[in-house]
Structure 1
Amino acid sequence: MSQGKAIIVDYLTSIPAWYLATVENTPEGGRPHVRPFSFAMLQDGEIQYCTATTKDVYREMQQNPFVELTAWKPGSGWVILRGRANLEDRANAQTRKEGFDHMVGLGEDWLDPNDERLTFFTIDDAEAWICDIDGSWNPVEL
């Protein structure tokens, strides 16, 4: 497992929310669409994120897989990770249970961890950095 991936998951899970940007196709062309996320978990050396197949974010990633996430942690700068969303749901039972519990804790309504709307994705060809106010971008080896 990549130590860099563990650093990213630790960063994302130590704050209340982080932000994922997708590309929304509109009649005027592609537009950025950003929303808060808060679940990330390592499984088999990959970072798993979860959402619902019924949400705009899922549809947008189907149409254009390029995504970027960012988060700021006081005293630690901010993280940037970008790549291509891989929507092949490979979550195991433990990841599904933790994602389900997390989403229910946010107030979302799910039947159970195997609810067909609950889906997990990874980000392929990812690049990541920890950035600081001094303008430095420190690469995180994934």
Structure 2
Amino acid sequence: MQDGTKAVVDYLTSVPAWYLATCEDDQPHVRPFSFAAEEGGRIWFATATTKDVYRELEANPRFELTAWKPGHGWIILRGRADLDDRAGEAVREAAWRHLESLGESYEGPHDPRLTLFSMTGAEAWLCDIDGSWTPLDL
């Protein structure tokens, strides 16, 4: 795993939620997310094929997310969603368990509604209140 990829996953998994933004036509849409994992040098996120966010990423795969961790600044991650769900068994199981713990309901880790996506063209920065931005190598 590249150091930047590990830093992003470590950051995202250390906060309760972060916010992922998509755009539909000229209207931005932002919603909380809380699952991230690394596998094969990629960052994986989980959602459902029945959700608006999935439909929006199908139409326009560009997204951006941000999270703030007190005392550690905030992170910005942007890129394009790769909706080709090739996540391995361990990531799929972890995503299913995580989403179930939030109150979502699936028929197991292979429920066709549950999907994982990664990203291409990723760029990330750690930002501080002093205005400094530190790019992460992904």
TM range (shorter): over 0.9
Instruction: For structure 2, list consecutive stretches of 5 or more residues without a partner in the other structure.
Output: none
User: Is 1:69 matched with 2:48?
Assistant: no
**CA separation in 2, counterparts of 1:137 and 1:57?**
28
Superposed counterparts of 1:54-133, under 5 Å: 54-133=50-129
1:31 Cα shift?
A: 1.0
Give 1:8's aligned residue.
8
Secondary structure of the structure 1 residue equivalent to 2:15: coil
User: Which amino acid in structure 1 is aligned with residue 137 of structure 2?
Assistant: E
User: Which amino acid in structure 2 is aligned with residue 58 of structure 1?
Assistant: Y
User: Which amino acid in structure 1 is aligned with residue 7 of structure 2?
Assistant: I
Give 2:49's aligned residue.
53
| Cα deviation digits, residues 73-127 of structure 1 (max 9, x gap) | 0000000000111100011111110000000000001110000000000111010
Scaled by the length of structure 1, the TM-score of the pair is 0.96
**CA separation in 2, counterparts of 1:109 and 1:119?**
13
Structure 1 segments (4+ residues) deviating >6 Å = none
Scaled by the length of structure 2, the TM-score of the pair is 0.98
User: Which amino acid in structure 2 is aligned with residue 138 of structure 1?
Assistant: T
The share of aligned pairs that are identical, in percent, is: 60
Secondary structure of the structure 1 residue equivalent to 2:116: strand
